[in-house]
Chain A
């Protein structure tokens, strides 16, 4: 696929998608650069660990590019991508048939400050991550899409093919369980 002209960094996702579908490879590269870290954070928080995250991020983008003709702009590209990431993680979990292992440093607070406070914060974050991994998948994804990625219920509902009311209910069920980790 020969690139036509370099994809502008300021282009919207929709422009980049159209450019990629028109044969611009650099548009695909820009989409990956734009969303890869958010996807890695989402996967890291939903139970993927270590080197798995890199592989899952790559697999998610490949799946997404192969399914792009089914993306109709019903939600943001990033939300759609994260839901594909959730599916890729589930499939990887089935393949490996292993317990989810999350590296502890994913939950550690930023360096600096009082060592005791850091240790307590790290422990709380670890508990939160483990409880999050135990939530039903829909509750977990709705919670992370909102609390971690900052999406509105309407956007989450469009991505997960549900209603904003149902998304809100899933979120509150998740919050009810996760709040116990803070005590």
Chain B
């Protein structure tokens, strides 16, 4: 250590701390540890995990998916996917005051229609995926 303690009690503390665990170090059977470690590594060889399975890559990928998802949700017409029925509703909603009763009923009926599958899937966030699903998604992105 370069900047040694100036306080004599602190120096004494450091001296005693350096001695802590001495017994454990002396008692250790190093060759037994070597054998144990090597045996374990032979039994289960180390397999390098794919780069995308490392936590940093997983976090980055999750962030990217979130950004894309948020963009799709908030991006307006560019990111929005609508059915022809919904498009009709959007166009007609602007001129709702000019509609007769039949036309108005048609518009109301389109508003009640369920959204199609692609729109519903776009609402799902990456946070809803399990770890396995996230890994599968990343794998499919890599393929």
**Contact B25 A41, beta carbon cutoff 8 Å:** yes
Q: Does A5 contact B (CB under 8 A)?
A: no
The digit string for A31-66, where 1 denotes a CB below 8 A from any CB of B, is 011001110111111101100011001100110011
**Contact B28 A68, beta carbon cutoff 8 Å:** no
Kindly list 13 other residue pairs between chains A and B, CB separation below 8 angstroms, not including A37-B30, A58-B36, A103-B24: A25-B41, A29-B37, A32-B33, A40-B28, A54-B33, A57-B28, A103-B23, A125-B20, A147-B18, A148-B21, A175-B10, A181-B13, A182-B13
Q: Does B140 contact A (CB under 8 A)?
A: no
- Identify B49's interface contact among A25, A58, A69, CB under 8 A: A69
Q: Does B87 contact A (CB under 8 A)?
A: no
**Contact B1 A146, beta carbon cutoff 8 Å:** yes
Given A53-B24, A103-B23, A108-B23, do A65 and B34 touch, yes or no (CB 8 Å)?
Answer: no
8 Å CB interface, A57-111 against B? 57-58, 61-62, 65-66, 68-70, 103, 105-109
- Report the Cα distance A124→B17, complex, angstroms: 11
**Contact A65 B20, beta carbon cutoff 8 Å:** no
**Contact B1 A53, beta carbon cutoff 8 Å:** no
Is chain A's binding surface mostly helix, strand, loop or mixed? helix
**What residues on A are CB-neighbors of B5 within 8 Å?**
175
CB distance from A69 to the nearest CB of B (A): 5
The digit string for A2-45, where 1 denotes a CB below 8 A from any CB of B, is 00000000000000000000000100110011001110111111
CB distance from B2 to the nearest CB of A (A): 7
- Report the Cα distance A57→B31, complex, angstroms: 12
**Contact B17 A128, beta carbon cutoff 8 Å:** yes
CB distance from A164 to the nearest CB of B (A): 11
The number of residues on chain B lying at the interface, defined by a beta carbon within 8 Å of a beta carbon of chain A, is 37
- Identify A148's interface contact among B9, B17, B38, B46, CB under 8 A: B17
- Report the Cα distance A43→B24, complex, angstroms: 8
**What residues on A are CB-neighbors of B40 within 8 Å?**
58, 62
**What residues on A are CB-neighbors of B9 within 8 Å?**
179, 182
- Identify A58's interface contact among B19, B22, B33, B42, CB under 8 A: B33
**What residues on B are CB-neighbors of A70 within 8 Å?**
54
8 Å CB interface, B44-78 against A? 45-46, 48-49, 54
Q: For residue A38, which residue of chain B has the nearest CB?
A: B25
8 Å CB interface, B71-98 against A? none
**Contact B21 A41, beta carbon cutoff 8 Å:** yes
Q: For residue B56, which residue of chain A has the nearest CB?
A: A70
